[in-house]
Amino acid sequence: MEAYEHKTRDIIELFLSHRISPQCTAALDAALAALIPTLRGEQIPRLHAVLVANNETVMQEMKRRQKSDAQI
């Protein structure tokens, strides 16, 4: 679980620094796919919290980028 959190934090940082964009979702999905076979039941609430936080961060950034593009 810690490895997943670290990996997704790195992916989100790349996304926020504009070094990846469409690949962000695919990278997050790949990290999740790698975690699922090793996940224990008691880790599901923590995973859910990480997924929700990552989703919120990506959605906020996408909204910000849309506003920025609309102003151009």
Q: What is the pLDDT of residue 40?
A: 94
Q: Which two tokens stand for residue 50?
A: 């990480």
Alpha-helical (H) ranges within 1-72 are 2-16, 23-35, 44-71
Q: What is the pLDDT of residue 4?
A: 92
**Tokens 């490895």 belong to residue:** 3
Q: What is the pLDDT of residue 67?
A: 87
Q: What is the mean pLDDT of each run of 10 residues along the chain (72 residues)?
A: 92 86 84 93 95 92 86 70
